[in-house]
């Protein structure tokens, strides 16, 4: 039987594709993943989507970049956008959602991706994504130090505050006392980080990481 | 009569608040705007939202940062999230929307904000938002040159491609042959930029800017 969803993403690195994979895996969804193909074949599929010649079709604008999700004829790009779509279809939102829950969860996801995923990526490429790391190593070092000193604690403290707030349902989940795809995003972001002293202020965030890990 | 919506944003700079203002203005919505208050009073309201003591309430997590939109008891943060909410309520999406139009418009908005708003902001603060421009001037100059050389043409070319694609309805609008809030976002981003030689590749994008201007 053909897989329900198709994920189009670069081979060889978890990256932003991994946020989508975690949602699909958590829900036990049937999906194919270009990253499981031969690397060259996968790259060809991604580049075809981004090609100057790809003008999309009558229903769909061309995507800017992967991750890209296909669901039948539907093609969706942009990580938080794909997650919002899948979250509702895969049961990764409250089971009896209030009318505006989706915006509340989306705000948490956008904040987590901005501060703890995009900014981390930019630490490695502070001048331009088109330049090699070696060409911007001095700036990368300076930016990384500042990120660890000011930005990381700021975002971790924010999510601590969210977890302390009543709308989280007193934890361990971020919103509505129930596991949502926002928890998966924060989990992935924290997954590869050791809990250092400077992160002790974010003990609830890290406890949450361990909570998601144990859930699986 | 009390205004329907309340926009909470910093005083003195259009910034990300302006994306929300344009949507509200375009639709002729009734709204109040903290930026119209005395600067100190406005800043006090914004800081209270971001305070360590603000844990939100039982329905709403605390916002990370402005812009913040209040609609009665509902409080929404994050620019693309607010725009998605307002776009549907203010008639800034196709008048007979297909089921998944909202995701297609959101993808365009997220891409425009990422590449042409956030990255421009970061040109000014490539090391850390917490440091003054003067403390990162060398890096800012290097990043700005790279942005103009590689990133700006890449994003402008992308929107040219979108406008050429069939899903735009052959222009002048980005999606579905109709004016949407995505057009307002791209309009604002192009508004303050002169059309230089290097931007001639993006002539449709700039014609679109003029189209939105004439529409008003």
Q: For A132-170, what is each residue's pLDDT tens digit?
A: 999 999 999 999 999 999 999 999 999 999 999 999 997
B84 plus B117 within the same structural domain: no
Does residue A61 sit within a domain?
Answer: yes
Does residue A96 sit within a domain?
Answer: no
**End of a domain among B60, B89, B118?**
B89
**Whole-number Å distance between alpha carbons of B208 and B133:** 32
**Which helix or strand (DSSP H or E) is residue A68 part of?**
strand A68-71
B131 plus B192 within the same structural domain: yes
Of A85, A82, A84, A88, residue with least CA distance to A107: A84
C-beta atoms of B58 and A151 within 8 A = no
A107 plus A65 within the same structural domain: no
**Whole-number Å distance between alpha carbons of B162 and B154:** 13
How many CB atoms neighbour CB B141 within 10 A? 12
Does residue B83 sit within a domain?
Answer: yes
Q: Please give the pLDDT value at position A196.
A: 52
Does residue A118 sit within a domain?
Answer: yes
Q: Which of A6-10, A30-34, A198-202 has the lowest mean pLDDT?
A: A198-202
B84 plus B189 within the same structural domain: no
Please name the residue that has the structure tokens 């070696």. Answer: A134
Q: Is A32 helix (H, G, I), strand (E, B) or coil?
A: strand
**Whole-number Å distance between alpha carbons of A118 and B53:** 27
A115 plus A84 within the same structural domain: no
Residues 6+ apart with CB under 8 A from A41: A34
CATH of the domain at B160: 1.20.1050.10
Q: What is the mean pLDDT of residues A86-112?
A: 95
Smallest CA–CA distance from A130 into chain B, residue: B150
Does residue A94 sit within a domain?
Answer: no
Question: Quick check: A171 pLDDT over 80?
Answer: no
Number of domains in chain B: 2
Q: Please give the pLDDT value at position A201.
A: 45
How many CB atoms neighbour CB B196 within 10 A? 9
**Could you give phi then psi for residue B92, rounded to 5 degrees?**
-105, 30
CATH of the domain at B35: 3.40.30.10
Residues 6+ apart with CB under 8 A from B102: B84, B87, B88, B93
Does residue B95 sit within a domain?
Answer: no
Q: Please give the pLDDT value at position B188.
A: 86
Does residue A62 sit within a domain?
Answer: yes
Structure-block tokens of residue B131 = 């440091």
For testing contact with chain B, the best of A19, A80, A103, A105 (most B CBs within 10 A): A103
**End of a domain among B62, B89, B116?**
B89
Of A133, A80, A134, A130, residue with least CA distance to A103: A80
Computed over every residue of chain A, the mean pLDDT equals: 90
C-beta atoms of B129 and A151 within 8 A = yes
Q: Please give the pLDDT value at position B197.
A: 44
State which residues form the domain around A209.
101-215
Within 8 A of A131 by CB-CB distance, chain B residues are 146
Smallest CA–CA distance from B169 into chain A, residue: A58
Question: What is the full DSSP assignment across A69-114?
Answer: EEETTEEEESHHHHHHHHHHHTT-S-SS--TTHHHHHHHHHHHHHI
A85 plus A108 within the same structural domain: no
CB A69 within 8 A of CB A20: yes
Q: Please give the pLDDT value at position A214.
A: 72
Residues 6+ apart with CB under 8 A from A64: A50, A77, A78, B107, B111, B115, B155, B158
B154 plus B105 within the same structural domain: yes
Of A23, A29, A10, residue with least CA distance to A109: A23
A84 plus A155 within the same structural domain: no
A189 plus A120 within the same structural domain: yes
Please name the residue that has the structure tokens 């009543």. Answer: A166
Strand order in the sheet with A74-77: A31-33, A5-8, A68-71, A74-77
Q: Please give the pLDDT value at position A208.
A: 64
Q: Please give the pLDDT value at position B107.
A: 98
Q: Please give the pLDDT value at position B185.
A: 93
B115 plus B204 within the same structural domain: yes
Q: Please give the pLDDT value at position A136.
A: 96
For A8-20, write each residue's pLDDT tens digit. Answer: 999 988 899 999 9
C-beta atoms of B59 and A84 within 8 A = no
**Could you give phi then psi for residue B36, rounded to 5 degrees?**
-85, -10
B58 plus B149 within the same structural domain: no
CB B123 within 8 A of CB B144: yes
Bond into B27 cis (ω within 30) = no
C-beta atoms of A76 and B127 within 8 A = no
Does residue A95 sit within a domain?
Answer: no
**End of a domain among B41, B61, B89?**
B89
- Ranges of residues in chain B with a pLDDT under 50 are 197-201
Q: Please give the pLDDT value at position B34.
A: 97
Q: Please give the pLDDT value at position A209.
A: 65
pLDDT band at A192 (very low <50, low <70, confident <90, very high): low
Q: What ipTM was reported for this prediction? A: 0.92
């Amino acid at each position: 039987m053909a897989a329900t969803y198709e994920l189009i993403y670069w081979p060889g690195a978890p990256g932003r594709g991994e946020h989508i994979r975690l949602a699909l895996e958590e829900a036990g969804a049937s999906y194919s993943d270009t990253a499981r193909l031969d690397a060259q074949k996968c790259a060809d599929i991604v580049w075809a989507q981004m090609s100057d010649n790809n003008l999309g079709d009558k229903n769909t604008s061309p995507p800017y970049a992967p991750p890209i999700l296909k669901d039948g004829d539907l093609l969706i790009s942009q990580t938080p956008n794909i997650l919002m779509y899948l979250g509702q279809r895969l049961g990764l939102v409250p089971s009896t959602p209030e009318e505006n829950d989706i915006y509340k969860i989306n705000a948490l996801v956008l904040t987590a991706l901005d501060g703890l995923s995009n900014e981390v990526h930019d630490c490695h490429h502070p001048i331009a994504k088109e330049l090699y790391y070696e060409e911007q190593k001095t700036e990368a070092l300076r930016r990384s130090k500042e990120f660890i000193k000011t930005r990381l604690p700021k975002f971790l403290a924010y999510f601590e505050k969210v977890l302390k707030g009543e709308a989280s349902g007193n934890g361990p989940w971020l919103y509505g006392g129930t596991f949502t795809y926002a928890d998966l995003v924060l989990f992935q972001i924290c997954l590869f980080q050791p809990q250092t002293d400077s992160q002790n202020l974010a003990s609830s965030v890290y406890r949450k990481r361990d909570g998601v890990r144990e859930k699986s």
